Every structure is written in structure tokens, then in C-alpha cells.
Amino acid sequence: MRADFDHITIDQLRAAGGLKWTAYPDAIGMFVAEMDFGVPPPVAAVLRRAAADGALGYPTGHDLQALREATSGWLDRTTGWDVPAGRVHPLPDVLTALRQTIRHFTPDGSAVIVPTPAYMPFLTVPVAAGREVVQVPSRVDAAGRYSLDLDGIDAAFAGGARLLVLCNPWNPVGRVLDREELLAVAEVVERHGGRVFADEIHAPLVLDDRPHLPYAALDERTAAHTVTAVAASKGWNIPGLKCGQMVLSNDADAARFAPYAEDAGNPLGLLGTRAATAVYTDDGGWNAEVVEYLRAGRDLLEDLVAEHLPGAVLSHLEGTYIAWLDCAGLGLDEPAAGFFRREAGVALTDGAACGDGGAGCVRLVMATPRPILRRALKQMGAALTRRAG
Amino acid sequence: MRADFDHITIDQLRAAGGLKWTAYPDAIGMFVAEMDFGVPPPVAAVLRRAAADGALGYPTGHDLQALREATSGWLDRTTGWDVPAGRVHPLPDVLTALRQTIRHFTPDGSAVIVPTPAYMPFLTVPVAAGREVVQVPSRVDAAGRYSLDLDGIDAAFAGGARLLVLCNPWNPVGRVLDREELLAVAEVVERHGGRVFADEIHAPLVLDDRPHLPYAALDERTAAHTVTAVAASKGWNIPGLKCGQMVLSNDADAARFAPYAEDAGNPLGLLGTRAATAVYTDDGGWNAEVVEYLRAGRDLLEDLVAEHLPGAVLSHLEGTYIAWLDCAGLGLDEPAAGFFRREAGVALTDGAACGDGGAGCVRLVMATPRPILRRALKQMGAALTRRAG
């Protein structure tokens, strides 16, 4: 079966009331990391059953164990990473896992390294936890391909930072890091006895023909220095259900976290628990169909940028549905997101919000029906033409 | 309209899969603070709509503002407390509010005072946050009526504790504290410049003919030293949706918390946000019907205890649906919860889990259909008779 989301309309999306389609009622929304493709049937079934049963109590021990086992099974099936169910700690989301990692697995007061461009909250969550963020701008080539600045990360560890936030697949620049790159990170981390928080929430959204490699699963060193966070939020489009999983990959971390595990998991809701369990177990092929649709959309977006935005550099989207577009070559005299919002009716995220090195770029969520993608890029191109003319 | 939940069966409850009815498949479940009455129609509608729309994204600014306004309106309408919507901070639950209160409104390392018997997590959440808990056993008269030990609380503040956890209506002993008692608490707190965390999650479940008085609303002193937590979880039976509200009642607290508010609210889910908004706005009379049913159930329970458990002391349930039963007079030579679980097939919470002074008692969740309540107490009485015979 080949999924066809082409028929979904902007009116339907606005009526559903999501953030991306209501914050700017007159614009095409491409700034929130949500997909416009609805949710998998097993998720809808979880909600309908709860409504029918009138059962919205606390998650049971059975619910939580089922989620741990489903997460373990899904990781093993899709990446070959063999994680015992007991090492999976359900909690509301990846950011909660980051807060727990900072608290329990780094020294008090130590700084947190965030390679940029970064998912915006990685710049603020450590600060809210009382920590300094050390931004390390990444390298980028003329084609818009990003790579980590290992020297910069090395220097940040040498300066006293103890935790590296490693987001792979990489929101917002769309890279899927390969084994060689990940092992090079491990060398740097090991040199300093540092720790890694591996955000792998986009693991189910690799578009290129290459595997997602869980960082902690690379070797004994990475297993020993990593805390991993995953979630069904992105791959199955259920961020509002707030269910993430923190995976511990060594005995010492497991022992250290054990006294806090129940407390950390307490804010978890019932429906997210059951929905994540359902899709990790059997999503009826929904994620695979979505990935196929996104892959074709990514190819289309590359054509559309070439046609409508000559001069802009679109980073090749290896994974995630978040496209990164360098607009420096467009000759705008203002931030591109503001220009396109006002002149093209397209709402994007200003790259500057993603940290050092992001200015001049925009973050464009392309998980939308192809007709809407075409329309957005056409409007952006027309705005540029009007400006030039 | 008078609600009739009498027809709900144990088989239906087990099929719905709640914790109370699945943890002990062979017992009547009375140990989890959930009601067996389903959920209000507006909550089921929120779930069905999300399933139909396939919309499970992040809560929008509109969603959050609607919840703030609905909470403010509900507090004003039901208690006369005038809280600006901007002072309402949505977060997953009351325990999250307690963690935030400890972190932002108490000195580092200071102890937390918990009058006992207490809601069990109040004894562990501060510890997980790195704080000592000072238990202050409460006073109780021969009729099982509890009152706070103000001298004990005074001594705890004098010993360096800075925060009092004040649970009213009081889980698990069922008191609804009156104005005089609350003002006496305020005197003690003011004497030491202390703070109060007011858990008022059971405010919508007052059974006696008296008002719930929000502690922070008493006067300027209590507004200045209190952080309040409320939620729709108990009054509308939706704990699994994980949506609570922290209410700040003075400018200094509001300013201090502002930089952390977004971070604290981030783990909040979409469906809890919308469900709480719906029931605070208009629940179609569901809560009032439930309270009426619970009131009659409370009266029935008093008769049943007199009939089947002579020698036990049932605290009069002024509010909440959590009954507190002193079993010391039953002459058991083991904890009552274990005895009734094994010999009567009724699952209760051992009072010892509620802290100092709880041993010998049990916590009995009576929010169940009356036929089930009758059956449970009959089985408990029969077990005692068998033991005696």
C-alpha cells in the first residue's frame, strides 16, 4: 500500500486546530515539527477505546511493562540494539529525559555542550536547570552539508563542560550521522571522561537508504557514557500524547537512577503510554508509508527550491522532516523567516532561534501534503520575484 | 437528574483495565484513588474528536490560555477565589507542582513538613528532590476526627523546615478544614516566615454541607506564602490525562517563577489540557451528580461499617472519596490491609504507607457502585467472623 496524503487540505488542517495551522491563520504553517498526516489507526483506536470505556486512570504496572517491552522490541527490530526492557524508563518526553540526565549524570553546575544549529529547547532547558550552555557551531560545506566541529566539542569539554547533547538524526539540519562520525565523537568524549545525551527521537524518520545507528549501541565505550532518549512522537505524529523513553545502557547508570525512576516516570499519562506501545508493536505499516511519502516530498522540495528559490541552499534531508534552508544568497536585507511570513504567507522558524550559525537560515517543516508544499514554495518564489521587480 | 452508577459491574470495571481492578484480579479493588463511574461526556468528546481529526500535536497557545481562563473561572465560580488567568500555570499534575514549589520557593536543602497521615507520594517526592521530610503526626479523637498538630508543625519550622504540605480536603483522613483551623495554620507559618504548598485537588469533592476554602484566598498573608495546586483529576476522574494547575497568588512568586514557567509546563499533553478546560467550563452537571452519589455512598459506608466491622473506627468523610478506617479495635495480629486482602478479597492501602500514625489503619477508596461497596464490607465482616469463629 502506498499512502496518499495529497488530498488533505489546508481547511481541514486548520479545522483540526493544530499549532502549526492556527498560530498564523493566514499563512501556510511550516514551523512546528508536526506532520499533517493524522495519526496511525492504532493510536485512534486507543483514544476511542478509552472514551468508550470511560477509563482514564493511572497507567498500570502492566501498561508500563508493556511499553518497556514494546520499546525494547522496536529498537531491536529496527536497529539491532538489544536493550533489556528494564533499561527503558518511560517519561513524558525527550526534554524530560534531558533534565533527568543533567540532574543525575553530570556534576553539579557543569556546563552542557550543544552543537548548533540545534533543536531550540536544547538551548534553554539546561539554562532552566541552572546550567550554562556552550554552543559549538558546526561545520557546513557549500552544498549545505553539516558536520560536527569535533575540535570545538573537544575544547568545550576541556573547558569543563561534562555533557554533549548529540541529536541524530539531526534536527534541524537533517543529517543522519554515519558510524565513522559517531566513533569520532566517542573518541572526543572518552578523552575527557564526558557524557552524551543522545536524542534519537527522529530514528524512525530516516529518508536516505542508510541505517539509523543508535550511538549507545556502537561499542562498550558509548554504552558506558550515553543516556539515550527516544519517542514515538515524531515517527507516528503524537507529540501531544507526551510519552518518551529514556534508555540506560550501563549498570552504573541503572543503579544510580533506580531510586529516582518512579518519581521521574510519575507525570506519564495513560494514553501516551498505550499509544506508544501500540505503534512500537504494530503500526500496520503506517510509519513506512509516511517515510516513503516524506522521501518523495523531500525530492520534490529539492526541485522546488531549485525552481523557485535559486540562490538558496537546501541541506539534503537524510532524515527527519525538518528542512534547513540557507537563505543568505537570496540577498534579503532582513531575516528570511520574517520576510517569507509577511511577503509569502509562509510561516517558518528563523534559523537564529537554533543557535550560533543559524542566522540567515530557516527551518522548514516539510511533512505536509505535496500540493501544499508546492504552493508554499511557489509563494516564496513569487515573493522574491516581486521584491526583485 | 440523579446519577445512578449502581448498575456498573466488577466485570465491566476489570475489562476497562484500570489499575484498581487489574492489580489484584481476584479482589475488590479499593486502593487506588480513582472512581468507578467513568468520565464526563465532555471528556469522552475531547478524545473522540482527537481520534477523528487525527490531531495529537502540541497544545497551542490558545489551548493553554483557554485552560488558564477555565481554571480561573471555575475557582471563582465555585469558591469565590479571584485568580487572574495569568497566575494559573498548567503542568502535568500536583506532584509536579510540589517539585516546582520545592525548587523555586524554598531554600536549597531545607526540609519539608508533611502532616500525617498523608497522601503517600508526599513522603517520597521531597526525598527524590534531595530534601528531608519531617513527618508531623496529627491529632485524632475517639471518633476518628483528625486535626493538625500545630505545635508539631511549629516545632518543625523552628527546626529549620521551610515548607508545609497542606492537603485540604485531606487525603486520606477525609477532613475539610474550616476557616478557624486554616487561620491557625497561617499563624504558625507566618511566625517562622515559612511557605505552604496547598494541595487542593479534592476541592470538587466536598461531601458535607460546607464550602471548600482555598487556603491562599483566606487573607493577604496566606496569598503571600502559598503555592496552590488544583486539578480536574479527582473531581472528574481523569488522573491518566495528567493535567494539573499551579496557582501563584502573589507578585513576588509570579516574577520568580516566570523564567521557568514554559519549561515547567512543557511536559503537558494536549488531551489533558482540553479535557480539563472542558470540565472546568461546563461538565453538564457530572461532578454534582457524582458528589451526590458519593454522599449517599458515604452514609451507606457508615452503616456498613457499624454492621459488619464493629470495633473499627471510620473517620467521617467530609470530603474526598477516600475513607480512613482505624482497625486497631478489630484485634487483628497483622496489618489490616494484608488481612482483608487475603481473607476478604478486598484490596486496601495499609495506613502505614501514609506515614507516622497510620499503622493499624487502612485507606479505602469508596468511589464505587453501592452494590460493590456492600459486597466489600460484607466480605470484610465475614472474614472477621470466620477469624473469630
- DSSP, collapsed to helix, strand or coil, labels residue A8 as coil
Which set of grid coordinates corresponds to residue B64? Answer: 493553554
Return the amino acid letter for A141. D
**pLDDT tens, position by position, B264-311:** 999 999 999 999 999 999 999 999 999 999 999 999 999 999 999 999
The CATH classification number of A45-281 equals: 3.40.640.10
**pLDDT value of position A389:** 78
* pLDDT class of A3 with cuts at 50, 70, 90: low
Count CA within 13 A, CB hemisphere, residue A285.
6
Query: Nearest by CB to B57, which of A15, A43, A239?
Result: A239
Across B10-26, average pLDDT: 92
Chain B CA closest to residue A273 = B240
Say which residues have a Cβ less than 8 Å from residue B76's Cβ, sequence separation at least 6. B82, B83
DSSP B211-229: ----GGGS-HHHHHHEEEE
Nearest to B56 by CA among B273, B232, B265: B273
What residue ranges of chain B are covered by domains with CATH 3.40.640.10?
45-281
Percent of chain B topping pLDDT 70: 99
Specify the pLDDT at position B388: 85
Give the C-alpha distances (Å, rounded to integers) separating A41 from A93, B66, B99: 22, 29, 36
How far apart (Å, rounded) are the C-alpha atoms in residues A340 and A342? Answer: 5
Report d(CA B274, CA A71) in Å as an integer.
Answer: 28
pTM of the model: 0.96
Beta bridge partners of A324: A363
Collapsed DSSP state (helix, strand, coil) of residue A86: helix
Q: What are phi and psi of B381, to 5 degrees?
A: -65, -40
Asked if A62 has any chain B CB less than 8 Å from its own CB, the reply is yes
- Residue carrying the nine cell digits 507525570: A267
Residue B251: CA atoms inside 13 Å, Cβ hemisphere, count?
0
- Interface mutation target, options A32, A46, A56, chain B, most CBs of B under 10 Å: A56
Reported confidence tier of residue B4, pLDDT bands at 50, 70, 90: confident
Please compute the mean of the pLDDT values over residues A300-304 and round it to a whole number. 98
Cα(B128)–Cα(B117) distance, integer angstroms: 20
Beta carbons of B125 and A56 less than 8 Å apart: no
Q: Which of residues 354-373 of B touch A (CB under 8 A)?
A: none
Give the whole-number percent of chain B exceeding pLDDT 90.
98
Write down the residue that cell numbers 520576510 correspond to: A339
Cell of B344: 476478604
Measure CB to CB from residue A96 to each of B19, B32, B267 and give the nearest one.
B267
**Minimal C-alpha gap between B97 and chain A (Å):** 11
Residue A372 to residue B331: CA distance in whole angstroms: 74
Confidence category of residue A388, pLDDT binned at 50, 70, 90: confident
Domain(s) labelled CATH 3.90.1150.10 in chain B stretch across 10-39+285-388
Query: B323 pLDDT exceeds 90?
Result: yes
Q: Dump pLDDT digits (tens) for B334-368.
A: 999 999 999 999 999 999 999 999 999 999 999 99
Task: List pLDDT tens digits, range A8-63.
Answer: 999 999 999 899 999 999 999 999 999 999 999 999 999 999 999 999 999 999 99
User: What pLDDT, on the 0 to 100 scale, is given for residue B2?
Assistant: 56
Instruction: State the average pLDDT over residues B62-73.
Output: 97
Whether pLDDT at B1 is above 50: no
Interface test with B, best of A64, A234, A242 (most B CBs within 10 A): A242
Q: pLDDT tens digit string along A313-330?
A: 999 999 999 999 999 999
Closest approach of chain A CAs to the CA of B109, in angstroms? 14
pLDDT at B168: 98
Which H helix or E strand runs over A325? strand A322-326
Q: Say whether pLDDT at A2 is over 60.
A: no
Chain A residue numbers touching B262 (CB-CB < 8 A): 124
DSSP A293: H
Q: Please, what sign has the CA dihedral across residues B152, B244, A54, A272?
A: negative
B18 to chain A, any CB pair closer than 8 A? The answer is yes
DSSP letter, residue B58 = P
φ, ψ for residue A133, nearest 5 deg: -105, 125
Q: Considering CB atoms only, which of A51, A52, A60 is closest to B22?
A: A60
pLDDT at residue B42, rounded to an integer:
98
Residue type, B221: R
Nearest to B271 by CA among B242, B234, B236: B242
**CA distance to partner chain A, nearest, from residue B293 (Å):** 17
pLDDT exceeds 90 at position B389: no
C-alpha cell at B176: 475539610
Angle at CA A322, nearest 5°, toward A226 and A164? 20
Q: Show Cβ contacts of residue B30 under 8 Å, excluding neighbours closer than 6 positions.
A: B20, B346, B347, B348, B364, B365, B366, B368, B376
Please give the residue of chain A at the shortest CA–CA distance from B103: A129
The CATH homologous superfamily to which domain A10-39+285-388 belongs is Aspartate Aminotransferase, domain 1 (3.90.1150.10)
Q: How far is A22 from chain B (nearest CA, A)?
A: 8
Contact: B37, A20; criterion CB under 8 Å: no
Give me the residue label for grid cell 468507578.
B36
pLDDT above 70 (res A338): yes
Which residues of A fall within a CB distance of 8 Å from B50? Answer: 47
Question: Measured between CB atoms, does B337 come within 8 Å of chain A?
Answer: no
- In three-state secondary structure terms, A155 is helix
Residues of B (224-243) whose Cβ lies below 8 Å from A: 237-242
Flag whether pLDDT at B219 surpasses 60: yes
- The residue-averaged pLDDT of B202-227 equals 97
In terms of CA atoms, which chain B residue is nearest residue A19? B60
**Distance (Å, rounded) from C-alpha A364 to C-alpha A235?**
17
CA distances from A223 to A105, A146, A249 (A): 14, 25, 5
CA torsion sign, B62 to B64 to B68 to B74? positive
Give the whole-number percent of chain A exceeding pLDDT 70.
Answer: 99
Q: Residue B8, CB half-sphere, CA atoms under 13 Å: how many?
A: 20
Do A92 and B269 count as a contact with CB atoms less than 8 A apart? Answer: yes
For residue B95, which residues of chain A lie inside 8 Å, CB to CB? Answer: 266-267
**pLDDT attached to residue A1:** 46
pLDDT at residue B98 tops 50: yes
- Residue B179: per-residue pLDDT: 98
Other Cβ atoms closer than 10 A to B388: 8
Mean residue pLDDT of chain B comes to: 97
Q: What is the pLDDT of residues A206-244, one digit of tens each?
A: 999 999 999 999 999 999 999 999 999 999 999 999 999
What residues 255-314 of chain B have any CB closer than 8 A to a CB of chain A? 259-260, 262-263, 266-272
